[in-house]
Structure 1
Amino acid sequence: MRSVQKSIQPLCAPFLHPKHTTRIQLSCATQPPLWARSFHASASLRVVDLAYRLHDDQGKAKGDPIVMIHGLFGSKRNNQSVGNALARLLARPVYALDTRNHGESPHSHPHTYTALAEDVEAFLAKHGLRNATLIGHSMGAKTVMAMALRNPDCCANIIPVDNAPVDAALSSDFPKFAQGMQQVEKAQPKTQRQADGVLEPYAKDLPVRQFLLTNLARPEPGAALKFRIPIGTLSKSLGHMADFPFRNPDEVQFTKRALFIRGTKSHYVSDEVLPIIGRFFPRFELVDIDAGHWVISEKPDEFIQAVVKFLQEKED
C-alpha cells in the first residue's frame, strides 16, 4: 500500500461533464437540521428510516461517530468486522447502515443519490450524530461525496472508497449480477447451493457469488429462498448509480479533509479523474491499496490502517 497526498490546484477552465450543462439548484428541504436540504428545486423525496448496526466496543467507544455505507447489493453485514475494529482502535462508535432497498431497510422508489443522501442525512439528524466521519464504498462512496458537497456541515470529513465524483458507466459485471439474481428468483431454489448453481454463469468468482447470496432469505419455513432486496428496482436504477449529481466544481466544493481510497486493480478511480476530485475536494488525500473494486473485503487490514492513520492525524 502506498499513500500519496494530493492537493491539486483548480484548472483554469470550469469542468463540465459532457453529459450535462445544466446547473444544480439548491432549495430548502427536509428538517430538522438546517443543513438537510435537497439539491433539487422540487419537494424533498420521501425519507426512509434506515436499519443499522452499532459497533461501540461494548460501550467503550465514546468519540465522534463514524457512519459506514455499503455498496450496491451490499448491506451493513459487509462492514461488521471492520466496524468492530475501527470502534476498538479509534474509540469511536461506528454505525453501519443499510441503505434503502438493501438489507433490512425499507424498499422505496426512487433509488438515486438524492434519495440515498436524504435518507442518511435524516439518520444523522434522528440519532443526533454530529462531527461524523462518513465512509462509503462504491455506491456508498458517491453517497457520502454528494452529502459533503450539498451539505458540508453534515460531517467532519469523508472517506470515499473506490469511486469518483463523475458520471461513469458501472462495470459490466453489475448488470450481469442483477440478471443472475433475477434468474435465481425465477428458479425458486430451496438451498443456497441450488441458488449458487443458478448464479454461477453470471458471477464467475465464488467470493462475489457468496456476497450476492447473503441477500437471500426464506420468507417462511419450507418456502423457496428469495432475495430480501428488490432486484427489479435496483436493476432499473443502475443508470442512476453511474451518475453523479454535481457537475461543476466552480459552484460547490467540500473544503474539509477527504481521504480517497482506491483499488489499484480497479478502474473506478483512474489517474485521469484525480484533477476533478481535487477541484471538488481541494484537501483530498489518496491512498492506493493493491486490490480490485472490493477493497474493504479484499484487504481489510490495509483499509483499516489507512482509515486509522487518516483519522488520527491532527487538523492543520
Structure 2
Amino acid sequence: MLATRLFAGSRLAFQPLSTRAFSSSPTNANLKLAYDFYEAEKPDAKKDPIVFIHGLFGSRKNNRSMSKVFARDLNRPVYAIDLRNHGESPHDPRHDYTALAEDVEGFLQEHKIERPALIGHSMGAKTVMAVALRGKVKISSLIPVDNAPVDAALKSDFGKYIQAMRKIEDANIQKQSEADAILAEFEPNIGVRQFLLTNLARGKDGIQRFRIPVKYLASALDNMADFPFKDPEEARWEGPTLFVRGTKSHYVADETLPIVGRFFPTFKVADVDSGHWVISEKPQEFRDAVVDFLQDAE
C-alpha cells in the first residue's frame, strides 16, 4: 500500500508508445551507454525529460513498461539507459558510483539533456544521488528508489546470485530451463529468477552465457555497498527529492532519514508496501508516487 499521507491512487494501464533504441557517443573518458527513448505524445519543451536507471543485474528493459507510462501520463520524453556492465552498454573493470555518475553526466551532456528528472532504483538510486551531489550537471528533480546515501552492506542475496551465475556459466548449459534449475538452488522466488535470467543470451555455439561481466560485478559488490559522499556539509542538493522505499526492505530504514535530510534537505518519502523490488512488485503504487510528485514539481 502506498503511504496515503502523500499520494492518492489511480488505475495504471500500460499502452504502447513509440520507442527508439540508440547508443550514445562517449564524452571525455565516459563509456558509450545504450538507451531507449520514449517520446511524449504531445512534446512540450517546457516539461523536463526523465532519465530512468535500473539496479544491479538489471537493464533498461526492466523499465520499459513504466517508461511508456511516464511518457504518456506525464507527457515527458523518457530516456531509459543501461549503466556500464549492464544490458547492452560496454564492459569495464571499474564499477563504482563515481564512474557510474560520470557515465550518466557524459550521457546528459552528449545528448544535450537539460534539467532532467533522474529516477534510479537500487544501484541506480545511488548513481542518481551521486550525480546530484557532484553538481556537474543541472537536474530538476531526484527520485531515488529503495536506497539511501549511506554505506550499507548489500543483502546476502546478491552474493548468492553471483555464485549461481558462476555455476551456470561453468555448466555450459544450452537451455534456459537448465539455468533456472541451477538458480533455484540459490533463489526460490521465480520472479527474481526470471529477472536475473534476462541477462542470459545464447552464443553461436548454442551455449547460454551472461551478457553482464560476472567477474567484474563480483569484484564490485563492496563498491555497490559504499557511497562516495560522506559529509553532508561538503555536498548537498536542495532540489525536489522523493525517496520511494519498500516498507519490507531495509535499505531506507527510519534511522537513515536524518542523514538523508542532511544531504537532501527538501526530501519527501513515499512508502510502498513491497520489498526491495518496488517497481516490479507494486507498479501502480510506484507510478502514483512518481506522477504525483513530478506533477507537483512542474
Does the pair score TM above 0.5?
Answer: yes
Shift of 1:125: 0.5
Partner of 2:175: 191
Partner of 2:249: 266
**8 Å contact kept, 1:69–1:76:** yes
Contiguous gaps of at least 5 residues in structure 2: 7-25
Q: Give, as a single letter, the amino acid of the residue that structure 2 aligns with 1:99.
A: L
Confirm whether residue 293 of structure 1 aligns to residue 276 of structure 2.
yes
Partner of 1:242: 225
Shift of 1:157: 1.2
Q: Residue 113 of structure 1: which of 87, 97, 106 is its match? A: 97
Cα distance in structure 2, aligned partners of 1:280 and 1:258: 10
Q: Give, as a single letter, the amino acid of the residue that structure 2 aligns with 1:78.
A: N
Cα distance in structure 2, aligned partners of 1:183 and 1:255: 45
CA 1:312–1:236: 2 relative to 1, 3 Å = same
The 5-angstrom pairing of residues 28-107 of structure 1 reads 46-57=29-40, 60-62=42-44, 63-107=47-91
Residue deviations 1:126-182 (CA, integer Å, cap 9, x gap): 111001000000000000001100116421111000000000000010000011011
Residue deviations 1:26-71 (CA, integer Å, cap 9, x gap): xxxxx97xxxxxxxxxxx8x310100011114x5344321001100
CA 1:202–1:61: 2 relative to 1, 3 Å = farther
Shift of 1:274: 0.3
**8 Å contact kept, 1:134–1:144:** yes
**8 Å contact kept, 1:4–1:285:** no
- Structure 1 vs Structure 2 CA RMSD: 1.6
Confirm whether residue 142 of structure 1 aligns to residue 144 of structure 2.
no
Matched-pair identity in %: 56
The alignment partner of 1:82 has SS state of helix
**8 Å contact kept, 1:70–1:98:** yes
Q: Give, as a single letter, the amino acid of the residue that structure 1 aligns with 2:141.
A: N
Cα distance in structure 2, aligned partners of 1:131 and 1:155: 4
CA 1:80–1:61: 2 relative to 1, 3 Å = farther
Cα distance in structure 1, aligned partners of 2:58 and 2:199: 8
Cα distance in structure 2, aligned partners of 1:142 and 1:67: 14
Partner of 2:3: 2
**8 Å contact kept, 2:232–2:263:** yes
Partner of 2:265: 282
Q: Residue 201 of structure 2: which of 217, 228, 237 is its match? A: 217
Residue deviations 1:5-29 (CA, integer Å, cap 9, x gap): 7xxxxxxxxxxxxxxxxxxxxxxxx
**8 Å contact kept, 1:69–1:136:** yes
Cα distance in structure 2, aligned partners of 1:314 and 1:199: 42
**8 Å contact kept, 1:52–1:96:** yes
Regions of 4+ moved over 4 Å: none
The 5-angstrom pairing of residues 131-170 of structure 1 reads 131-151=115-135, 153-170=137-154
Q: Give, as a single letter, the amino acid of the residue that structure 2 aligns with 1:211.
A: F
Shift of 1:202: 1.2
Cα distance in structure 2, aligned partners of 1:53 and 1:4: 34
Q: Give, as a single letter, the amino acid of the residue that structure 2 aligns with 1:60.
A: K
**8 Å contact kept, 2:59–2:81:** yes
Cα distance in structure 2, aligned partners of 1:127 and 1:250: 32
The alignment partner of 2:90 has SS state of coil
Partner of 1:12: none
Cα distance in structure 1, aligned partners of 2:106 and 2:43: 23
